[in-house]
Amino acid sequence: MDKVKVNMFVNGKPVSLEVKPYARLLDVLREDLGLTGTKEGCGVGECGACTVIVDGETVNTCLTLAASMDGKHITTIEGLMENEKLHPIQEAFIKHNALQCGFCTPGLIMSAKALLDSNPNPSTEQIKVAISGNLCRCTGYEQVVDAIKEVAEKSK
Amino acid sequence: MADSSITRVDVLAKALGKAKYTDDLKFDNMLYLKVVRCPHPHARVIGINKEKALAIEGVVAVLTATDIPGLPCQPKERPILVPEIARYAGDGVALVVAESPKAALEGAEAVRVEYELLEAVFDPEEALKTGAPLVHGDNNVAAQSKVCKGDVEAGFKEADLILEREYNTHRVEHAPIEPEVAIAVPTFEGITVYCPTNSPFQVRQIVAETMAMPQSQIRLFQPTIGGSFGSKCYDAGVLASRAALAAKLTGRPCKIVYTREESIVESTKRHPYKMKYKVGVKKNGKLTAMEVKIIGDSGAYKSKTPFVISRSSIEATGPYVVPNVHTEAICVYTNNVTSCAMRGFGSPQVAYASELLMDELAEKLGIDPLKFRRINGLKDNSLSATGQVMQNVTLDECLDKLEQEIKWSSRKAELKQQDKTGSIVKGLGLACMYRGESFGSAGQGSDYAGATLQVQRDGSITLYSAMSEVGQGGHTMLVRVVSEVLGIKPSRIFVSPVDTCYVPDSGPTVATRGTYVIGNAIRLAAEEVKAKFAEVAAEELGVRPEELVFKDERIYCPGDPSKSISFSRIAAQCYLKSKSPYGYGWWSPPVGSWDREKGQGEAYSSYVYGACAAEVELDLDLGKVEVMKFVAVHDVGKALDKEEVKGQIAGGVSMGIGYALMEDLVVRQGVVKTVNFDEYLLPTSLDIHEIIPVIVEQPSSYGPLGAKGLGEPVMSAVAPAILNAIADALGTRVYDLPANLEAVLDKARAAKGRCCND
List the CATH number of the domain containing A19: 3.10.20.30
Closest Cα in chain A, distance from residue B77 (Å)? 27
Q: Does B655 touch chain A (CB under 8 A)?
A: yes
Task: Confirm if B111 and B289 have CB atoms less than 8 A apart.
Answer: no
Contacts of B651 in chain A (CB under 8 A): 100, 137-140
Contacts of B15 in chain A (CB under 8 A): 86, 90, 93-94, 99, 102, 105, 109
Contacts of B224 in chain A (CB under 8 A): 101-102
Please give the span between the terminal C-alpha atoms of chain B, in angstroms, as a whole number.
61
Task: Confirm if B191 and B219 have CB atoms less than 8 A apart.
Answer: yes
Q: Give the count of Cβ contacts less than 8 A between chain A and B.
A: 167
Strands B181-186 and B254-257, sheet pairing: antiparallel
For chain A, 156 residues long, give each residue's pLDDT as a single digit of tens.
689 999 999 999 999 999 999 999 999 999 999 999 999 999 999 999 999 999 999 999 999 999 999 999 999 999 999 888 999 999 999 999 999 999 999 999 999 999 999 999 999 999 999 999 999 999 999 999 999 999 999 988
pLDDT at B222 over 90: yes
pLDDT at A83: 84
How far from chain centre, in Å, is Cα B450? 21
Is the CB of B685 less than 8 angstroms away from the CB of A40?
Answer: no
- As beta bridge partners, residue B131 has none
How far from chain centre, in Å, is Cα A104? 10
pLDDT at A1: 65
In this complex, which of A106, A135, A145 lies closest to B677 when CB atoms are compared? A135
In this complex, which of B473, B678, B685 lies closest to A131 when CB atoms are compared? B685
CATH code: domain of residue A130 = 1.10.150.120
- As beta bridge partners, residue B35 has B95
How far apart are alpha carbons B470 and A100 in whole angstroms? 8
pLDDT tens-digit profile of B229-238? 999 999 999 9
How far apart are alpha carbons B279 and B321 in whole angstroms? 12
Q: Average pLDDT, stretch B319-339?
A: 98
In this complex, which of B14, B20, B175 lies closest to A137 when CB atoms are compared? B175
CATH code of B449-587, in short, is 3.30.365.10
Question: Among the three residues A79, A107, A132, which one is the final residue of a domain in this structure?
Answer: A79
Contacts of A49 in chain B (CB under 8 A): 177
In this complex, which of B224, B228, B655 lies closest to A102 when CB atoms are compared? B224
- Give the nearest chain B residue to A142 (CA atoms): B650
In this complex, which of B10, B12, B676 lies closest to A44 when CB atoms are compared? B676
In this complex, which of B12, B471, B684 lies closest to A101 when CB atoms are compared? B471
Question: Max alpha carbon distance in chain A (Å)?
Answer: 52
Residue of B452, B537, B524, B531 whose CA lies nearest to B493: B452
- Annotate B415-438 with three-state secondary structure: HHCCCCCCCEEEEEEEEEEEEECC
Considering the domain architecture, whether residues A62 and A103 belong to the same structural domain is answered as: no
Closest Cα in chain B, distance from residue A46 (Å)? 6
Mean of the per-residue pLDDT values of chain B: 95
Is the CB of A86 less than 8 angstroms away from the CB of B15?
Answer: yes
Is the CB of B676 less than 8 angstroms away from the CB of A101?
Answer: no
Residue B346 region by backbone torsions, left for phi larger than 0, else alpha for psi between -120 and 50, else beta: left
pLDDT tens-digit profile of B504-520? 999 988 877 888 999 99
pLDDT at B6 over 80: no
pLDDT tens-digit profile of B242-261? 999 999 999 999 999 999 99
pLDDT at B753: 66
Q: Does B652 touch chain A (CB under 8 A)?
A: yes
Contacts of A136 in chain B (CB under 8 A): 177
Q: Which of A100, A123, A131, A145 to mutate to test the interface with B (most CBs of B within 10 A)?
A: A100
How far from chain centre, in Å, is Cα B340? 9
Considering the domain architecture, whether residues A99 and A117 belong to the same structural domain is answered as: yes
Burial B565-575 (b: 16+ CB within 10 A, else e): bbbbebbbbbe
Q: Does B17 touch chain A (CB under 8 A)?
A: yes
More confident residue, B92 or A84: B92
Q: Average pLDDT, stretch B49-75?
A: 97
Q: Does B650 touch chain A (CB under 8 A)?
A: yes
Confidence at B758, pLDDT banded by 50, 70, 90: very low
- Annotate B614-673 with three-state secondary structure: EEEEEECCCCEEEEEEEEEEEECCCCCCHHHHHHHHHHHHHHHHHHHHHCCCCEECCEEC
Domains B273-441+597-751 and B449-587 share a fold: yes
pLDDT at B1: 31
Q: Average pLDDT, stretch B132-160?
A: 97
pLDDT at B644: 87
For chain A, what percentages of helix, strand and coil (3-state, to nearest 5) are there?
40, 20, 45
pLDDT at B78 over 60: yes
- As beta bridge partners, residue A8 has A15
Task: Confirm if B424 and B620 have CB atoms less than 8 A apart.
Answer: yes
Burial B217-226 (b: 16+ CB within 10 A, else e): ebbbbbbbbb
Q: Average pLDDT, stretch B349-363?
A: 98
In this complex, which of A36, A101, A131 lies closest to B227 when CB atoms are compared? A101
- Annotate B574-622 with three-state secondary structure: HHHCCCCCEEEEEECCCCCCEECCCCEECCCCCEEEEEEEEEEEEECCC
Cα-based angle B185, B189, B193 (whole degrees, multiple of 5): 30
Task: Say which amino acid occupies A7.
Answer: N
Considering the domain architecture, whether residues A111 and A57 belong to the same structural domain is answered as: no
How far apart are alpha carbons B410 and B396 in whole angstroms? 19
Contacts of A133 in chain B (CB under 8 A): 684
How far apart are alpha carbons A53 and A115 in whole angstroms? 10
How far apart are alpha carbons A102 and B224 in whole angstroms? 9
Closest Cα in chain A, distance from residue B688 (Å)? 7
Which parts of B544-583 fold into alpha helices (H)? 567-576
In this complex, which of A36, A135, A143 lies closest to B650 when CB atoms are compared? A143
Considering the domain architecture, whether residues A94 and A61 belong to the same structural domain is answered as: no
Strands B181-186 and B191-194, sheet pairing: antiparallel
In this complex, which of A99, A136, A141 lies closest to B15 when CB atoms are compared? A99
Q: Does B685 touch chain A (CB under 8 A)?
A: yes
Strands, E assignment, B701-742: none
Contacts of B263 in chain A (CB under 8 A): none
Kindly report the length of chain A. Answer: 156
How far apart are alpha carbons B712 and B601 in whole angstroms? 23
Closest Cα in chain B, distance from residue A135 (Å)? 6
pLDDT at B444: 58
Contacts of A135 in chain B (CB under 8 A): 177, 677, 682, 684
Q: Does B755 touch chain A (CB under 8 A)?
A: no
Which parts of B129-253 fold into alpha helices (H)? 152-158, 200-211, 234-250
pLDDT at B616: 98
Number of H helices, E strands in chain B: 20, 30
Q: What CA–CA distances, in Å, run from B577 to B94, B457, B526, B569? A: 59, 12, 20, 12
- As beta bridge partners, residue A9 has A14, A73
Is the CB of A138 less than 8 angstroms away from the CB of B651?
Answer: yes
The torsion angles phi and psi of B394, rounded to 5 degrees, stand at: -120, 20
Considering the domain architecture, whether residues A101 and A65 belong to the same structural domain is answered as: no
How far apart are alpha carbons B751 and B1 in whole angstroms? 53
pLDDT at B4 over 80: no
Residues 157-196 of chain B with CB under 8 A from chain A are 175-179
pLDDT at B439: 83
Strands, E assignment, B444-509: 449-455, 461-464, 493-495
How far apart are alpha carbons B133 and B567 in whole angstroms? 67
Considering the domain architecture, whether residues A106 and A67 belong to the same structural domain is answered as: no
Contacts of B20 in chain A (CB under 8 A): 36
> Which one is the CATH code of B273-441+597-751: 3.40.50.1370, 3.30.360.10, 3.30.365.10, 3.20.20.370?
3.30.365.10
- As beta bridge partners, residue A82 has A85
Is the CB of B651 less than 8 angstroms away from the CB of A43?
Answer: no
pLDDT at B683: 98
pLDDT at B757: 44
Considering the domain architecture, whether residues A8 and A69 belong to the same structural domain is answered as: yes
Q: Which residue range forms the structural domain that includes residue A137?
A: 88-154
Is the CB of A101 less than 8 angstroms away from the CB of B470?
Answer: yes
CB atoms near residue B354 (< 10 Å)? 27
The torsion angles phi and psi of A38, rounded to 5 degrees, stand at: -80, 125
pLDDT tens-digit profile of B703-740? 898 999 888 999 999 999 999 999 999 999 999 999 99
Alpha-carbon torsion B122, B124, B128, B134, what sign?
positive
Q: Does B21 touch chain A (CB under 8 A)?
A: yes
Alpha-carbon torsion B519, B522, B526, B528, what sign?
positive
In this complex, which of B11, B646, B652 lies closest to A94 when CB atoms are compared? B11
Instruction: State which H helix or E strand residue A97 sits in.
Output: none
How far apart are alpha carbons B393 and B22 in whole angstroms? 42
Q: Does B635 touch chain A (CB under 8 A)?
A: no
Question: Among the three residues A14, A46, A79, which one is the final residue of a domain in this structure?
Answer: A79
pLDDT at B557 over 50: yes
Map out the domains of chain B as residue ranges: 12-118+180-257, 273-441+597-751, 449-587
Q: Superfamily assignment of B12-118+180-257 in CATH?
A: Aldehyde oxidase/xanthine dehydrogenase, a/b hammerhead (3.90.1170.50)
Residue of B320, B233, B312, B232 whose CA lies nearest to B274: B312
Confidence at B177, pLDDT banded by 50, 70, 90: very high
Confidence at B443, pLDDT banded by 50, 70, 90: low
Residue of B639, B308, B585 whose CA lies nearest to B473: B639
Q: In what order do the strands lie in the sheet with B287-299?
A: B141-149, B324-333, B287-299, B273-281, B161-169
pLDDT at B537 over 60: yes
Which parts of B377-510 fold into alpha helices (H)? 395-406, 408-416, 474-486
- Give the nearest chain B residue to A138 (CA atoms): B651
Considering the domain architecture, whether residues A68 and A125 belong to the same structural domain is answered as: no
Q: What CA–CA distances, in Å, run from B50 to A22, B36, B94, B120, B123? A: 28, 11, 9, 27, 35
Report the domain count for chain A. Answer: 2
Considering the domain architecture, whether residues A75 and A17 belong to the same structural domain is answered as: yes
Q: What CA–CA distances, in Å, run from B710 to B349, B351, B524, B642, B654? A: 17, 16, 21, 12, 15
